[in-house]
Amino acid sequence: MKRWPDKNYINGNWAGGSSGRMWTVTNPATGDALAEVSVADASDVNLAVSAARHAFDEGPWPRMDPLARGRLLFLLAQKIRDRLEDFAMTDTLNVGKPIRDTRGFDVPCAADLFESYAGLPDKISGKCFGTLPDNVTMQFREPMGVIAAIVPWNFPLTNAAIKLAPILACGNTVVLKPSEVSPLSALMLAEAAHEVGFPPGVLNVIHGTGAETGAPLVRHPGVDKITFTGRHQTGAQMLEAAKIGMKGVMLELGGKTPSVVFPDAPVENVVNGVITGIFYNLGQVCVAGSRLLVHESQHADLMERIVAKVRGLRQGDPTDPSMQLGCLATAQHLSTVHRYVEQARKEGARCVLTGKIPDGPQNCFYPPTLFDGVTPPMTVAREEVFGPVLSVLTYRTEEEAVRMANDCDFGLMANIWTTDGTRALRVARQLRAGRVTINGGGALRPNVPVFGYKMSGIGAELGYEETVHEYTSSKAVIYALGTEKSPWPE
């Protein structure tokens, strides 16, 4: 594949950082350097926000025929599909994801997102309150302005598309900051948008750390809204930054997904679903099914089946299509995951499966790890590990299962496994989570909103009605029908 973009994309041009500082992007599977990318400091952030501000205030994008805006989004989707292999290999090399996953899900999903939201611009509508005797009141939905979008490293291209597709469809301009760990596919996306003809300043992509680049971006007075996906601790910082200018905030934060398995559930389906839910992308998924709640009567059988199947998973070179598991994104994150594993041991959880962490430069490979005998107060059952660590808890009654599932600060997603439809809906209504799947079906869909309960976020990611609410402003226009002068102040 050709050389990756290594500069910031601002106002339709590629620009090196004002400081001249470069950041080394690393392949976590080998420790080798992939690229050197310019770092944006506060002055570069100001250039990017100013470009987005001018494009919104003076440029054609918010005023463009909605169908024309949609066509550009559709062309971007096509461009992603045309370069599927380049995008897939980029994210595989950048964060250690198996190539079978980036080819099979990440890149196609990103293209689907842009294609799906390409149909939204001309469907955005307001309301008319025409029943009042003395006026007609109209509610308009208008583009909101400049959006600061910050995404994490676990799904580099897909996360960027989740933010950009609805933001752009609604007529906003945007400054995107990918994780400093994984900027390459976001810069490629800017390149693709340039090639299909997005006006200058509509999409800007800047690179750097949270402190050096992210902080001045979210505090910039030219930004109208912050949308962030990542750790809940950083989400709290976004709320603090939003006070400057009273910005809007959309936060998609951490999760601690419970998978509640009832005795009547089809066991083989459960085994596959549980393994996929926690070990896909090595658990580096905000909705990873990290807590398995099993009825005591089926515990032994289910554990035996899960352990046997996990032992057969192939882990190795992420560029090898036969590998099901790659590596974690950074050595620093591996240390965090391992710290949680050691803490679980100290607190009395029983490790029934793990493996050896390789020595040397390939130290980002972490083995699938299972803990049994976990109880709700344990750290591993309460905090987001964001790694391939499954905690197994047992329950006796449905009421206890619901109580244990809800005994957590997060509420992003929950899974239910049962063939009893009445029970499934009854339990789903009781679970404190923004998304509940029944017998699987948890794949991301462009038109399905993602909500976060409790510490898992504020607002909705995706969903057409929800997107319009998040990324447009509402304006009421009151048209008086009466011709008589108001009696006050006479």
Residue in 115, 180, 212, 252 annotated catalytic: 252
Please tell me the predicted confidence (pLDDT) of residue 361: 62
Q: In the annotation, is 286 catalytic?
A: yes
What are the distances in angstroms from CA 11 to CA 46, 50, 144, 192, 214?
12, 9, 19, 14, 18
Q: According to the model, what pLDDT value does residue 39 have?
A: 98
Name which of 144, 147, 171 is nearest 160 in CA terms.
147
C-alpha dist (Å) from residue 150 to 36, 229, 407:
20, 7, 29
In what helix (H) or strand (E) does residue 174 lie, and over which residues does it extend? Answer: strand 173-177
Of 427, 464, 432, give the one whose Cα is nearest residue 445: 464
For residues 157 and 163, what is the distance between their CA atoms, to the nearest angstrom?
Answer: 10
- Please write down the long-range contacts of 343-348, taking CB distance under 8 Å and 24 or more positions apart: 343/379, 343/380, 344/371, 344/374, 344/378, 344/379, 344/380, 344/389, 344/391, 347/378, 347/379, 347/380, 348/373, 348/378
- Mean pLDDT per segment of 10 residues, for the chain of length 490 residues? 89 96 96 96 98 98 98 98 98 98 97 98 92 86 98 98 98 98 98 98 98 97 97 94 94 97 95 97 97 97 97 96 97 96 98 85 88 98 98 98 98 97 98 96 87 96 96 94 76
Q: Could you count the other beta carbons within 10 Å of the beta carbon of residue 132?
A: 10
Determine how many CB atoms are found less than 10 A away from the CB of residue 141. 18
| Helix (H) / strand (E) containing 70 | helix 66-82
What does 6-59 look like in DSSP terms, one character per residue?
-SEEETTEEE--TT--EEEEE-TTT--EEEEEEPP-HHHHHHHHHHHHHHHHTS
Tokens of 381: 């059952």
Top CATH class of 258-438 equals alpha beta
pTM for this predicted structure = 0.96
CA distance readout (Å), 302 to 37, 39, 106, 168: 47, 49, 30, 46
What CA–CA distance (Å, rounded) separates 393 from 261? 11
Contacts for 235-238: CB closer than 8 Å, 24+ residues apart:
235/457, 238/150
- Chain position carrying tokens 């005795």: 263
Active-site annotation holds for 398: no
Give the residue range(s) of CATH 3.40.605.10 domains in the chain.
Answer: 8-253+456-476
Dihedral (CA of 280, 161, 175, 238) sign: negative
Domain with CATH 3.40.309.10 in the chain: 258-438
Please give the Cα distance from 317 to 99 (Å, whole number). Answer: 9
- pLDDT attached to residue 362: 67
Which residue in the block uniquely carries the two structure tokens 């046997």?
308
| From 286, 327, 364, 408, active-site residue | 286
Query: Closest Cα partner for 280 from 163, 173, 154?
Result: 154
CATH 1.10.10.10 matches 8-253+456-476:
no
Cα separation, 451 vs 222, in Å, equals 27
Residue-level pLDDT at 102: 98
